[in-house]
Amino acid sequence: MGTVRRVFEVDGRPFFPLGGQAKNSSGYNRAEAETAFRAVQQLHGNTVEIPVYWEQIEPSEGAFCFDGVADLLALAAEYQMKLVLLWFASWKNGDMDYAPDWVKQDTQRFRRVINPLGVPIWGLSPYCAANREADAHAFRALMAYLRDHDTGRAVIAIQVQNEPGTLWSDRDYSPEAEEVFQSPVPPALVRAIAERPSSPVHATWQACGAHESGNWPALFGAHAGEYLNAFTICQYIDSIAGEGKAVYDLPMYVNVWLAEQRFRLAGDYPSGGAVSAVLDIWLTSMEHLDLVAPDIYLPYTSGFRQICANYARDGNPLFVPESGSMGPNAWQMMYAIGEFDAIGYACFGVEHILEADGSIKPAAQQAVESFRAVSEAIPLLLRYQGSGRVHAIVQEENQGEQYLDLDGWIGVATFGYGTAGYVGRDWRHSGSGPRRVLDPTLPRGRGLLFQADDNTFYLVGAAYQLHLCPKDSWAAMTSYTGLRDFHLDRQGHWLSVDEGHFDEAGSFVVDRRRNGDEIDHGAWVEADVRVVRVRMGAR
């Protein structure tokens, strides 16, 4: 039904990767990697994102060792997980920490970025052909190994580099880079930017006179350095992706260290990375990369949603490869998936959700519950994303209810435990007692609502209950005296409310029916309930 472009597939069918990313050094040995697999299992995920290191697979030039990759493939089979491998090579968070020693130590052959003061910095120059060739050679070897040894087809995608860009300088100031800076901007890029009037790059181009030709400073003024760096780094990484795909064609993407996270100037964040301000340079220049994916750690909702909007583009469906493992991520992920049709979602440092004994840390509990809810809804996501029938339910701070404009219905999601005097749950949850909607000790309400047809809805999530009123009745209301009035007089009539789950074929299986007192005050959802199906009487 939906129109979302699905980049990820398993056995030729669309796949929604949900899970966690291991810590940066967790891929070096099997014991550390296994902790990440256990954590994703506890998270109810299906995919582990984990690094593969250039320095580990090619410790000396031309001599390859894939023992670590073999361990990851074996763990994926053991835990029945899919893998997204993160290629840590020329760039990891704006520097070259994971390049091999033989690259780091040969500064004549593998040239560094030069800052405006003429000083080399800890980063490989994207203008040095030897840098790109060495990286591409190792990447081709990795892809050949996966083609020949990943017999279970565990690897569903490759992240090419990690948060690439240049730290502490807006660009490379080497003689090679300076020559390109003073050369004409490629005409194809100028045409592409001219055709994107909503782009920040277009606005800069217009402010500088909208010239059809000229060098980088003439066309882009003070932003020219970052723009050129974005174009050059994109070409470098995209060409490596292309060479890898020629060996083994898997989906490939690049991730982004955002500029919006407490950083102001290019170089404070990795300049040249696909941040919002230069995203259109990347999207119009790359040929082989399938996605540009933002790593989102913004703790406030308005910023989180704005980043989602920036990256959820035609041709660039939203994929969130990194987010927080605790805190606001527990409810913000619902916006990414429900409002912006995210095609996959993961939290970073997934090991942090576990106590030493393997149990879930209390601080991570709400996030784990949210991931579980999304995992139960994956058949619905694959069916309804892009159709306008998926709605995020999120309780913002001090919010008691949320109104939903549905097809033929007005929905009201109330948070906490409903009205102050009535819990409205069943025997499994009655121990919580009646509490106020805005009680700060309660978990925040969050989840997803799917409208399958005119009168059928599916709910997942926690700590909310849904009330539905036909739109014609809602429009005829002359007064509204609170939720009790709504419950008794205005709400539509239930045909059935069922708890259940989806089987492997994607069919809904009823586990328990609620048609008694448990639905008098709304169709409620809690973290230990899998999927709730609501069928309403004809309007």
Q: How many domains does the chain have?
A: 2
pLDDT, one tens digit per residue, over 406-461 is 999 999 998 865 444 445 677 777 545 445 555 666 788 999 999 999 999 999 99
Task: Please state the φ and ψ torsions of residue 59, each to the nearest 5 degrees.
Answer: -60, -30
Q: Which residue, 344, 373, 388, sits at the end of a domain?
A: 388
Q: Which residue, 355, 388, 421, sits at the end of a domain?
A: 388
CA-closest candidate to residue 4, choices 447, 342, 448, 450: 342
- pLDDT at position 360: 95
pLDDT, one tens digit per residue, over 268-307 is 999 999 999 999 999 999 999 999 999 999 999 999 999 9
- pLDDT higher than 50, residue 196: yes
Strands 82-92 and 47-53: parallel
Residue 51, both tokens: 């690094």
Residue with tokens 């949210």: 370
Q: Are residues 232 and 333 in the same domain?
A: yes
Distance, in Å, from the CA atom of 338 to the CA atom of 382, rounded to the nearest integer, reads: 12
Q: The CATH number of the domain where 255 resides is what?
A: 3.20.20.80
- pLDDT higher than 60, residue 483: no
Distance, in Å, from the CA atom of 122 to the CA atom of 133, rounded to the nearest integer, reads: 19
Residue 307, both tokens: 């980043």
Contact 48, 84 (CB under 8 A): yes
Q: Are residues 323 and 399 in the same domain?
A: no
| Position 107 in a domain | yes
Q: Are residues 510 and 445 in the same domain?
A: yes
Q: 471 pLDDT band (50/70/90 cuts)?
A: confident
Q: Are residues 280 and 353 in the same domain?
A: yes
Amino acid type, 240:
I
Distance, in Å, from the CA atom of 522 to the CA atom of 108, rounded to the nearest integer, reads: 70
Q: Are residues 145 and 254 in the same domain?
A: yes
Q: Are residues 346 and 397 in the same domain?
A: no
Q: Are residues 384 and 396 in the same domain?
A: no
Q: Are residues 425 and 443 in the same domain?
A: yes
Buried b (16+ CB within 10 A) or exposed e, 202-226: bebbeebeeeeeebbbebbeebbbb
Q: Are residues 360 and 480 in the same domain?
A: no
- Other C-beta atoms closer than 10 Å to the C-beta of 73 total 20
Task: Please state the φ and ψ torsions of residue 523, each to the nearest 5 degrees.
Answer: -85, 105
Q: The CATH number of the domain where 504 resides is what?
A: 2.60.220.20
- pLDDT at position 437: 52
Q: Are residues 398 and 384 in the same domain?
A: no
Handedness of CA 278, 287, 141, 104 (dihedral sign): negative
Contact 361, 353 (CB under 8 A): yes
- pLDDT higher than 90, residue 487: no
Distance, in Å, from the CA atom of 8 to the CA atom of 321, rounded to the nearest integer, reads: 13
Question: Considering only 9-18, 51-60, 256-265, which range has the smallest mean pLDDT?
Answer: 256-265
CA-closest candidate to residue 311, choices 334, 286, 294: 294
Domain hosting residue 409, numbered range = 392-536
| Position 498 in a domain | yes
| Position 403 in a domain | yes
Q: Which residue, 339, 363, 388, sits at the end of a domain?
A: 388
Q: Are residues 162 and 19 in the same domain?
A: yes
| Position 3 in a domain | no
End-to-end Cα, the chain, rounded Å: 24
- pLDDT at position 521: 76
pLDDT, one tens digit per residue, over 22-48 is 999 999 999 999 999 999 999 999 999
Handedness of CA 284, 288, 290, 291 (dihedral sign): negative
- pLDDT at position 484: 45
User: Could you please report the per-residue DSSP string of 55-113?
Assistant: HHH-SBTTB---HHHHHHHHHHHHHT-EEEEEEEEEEETTB-TTS-HHHHS-TTTSPEE
| Position 4 in a domain | no
Q: Are residues 377 and 453 in the same domain?
A: no
| Position 1 in a domain | no
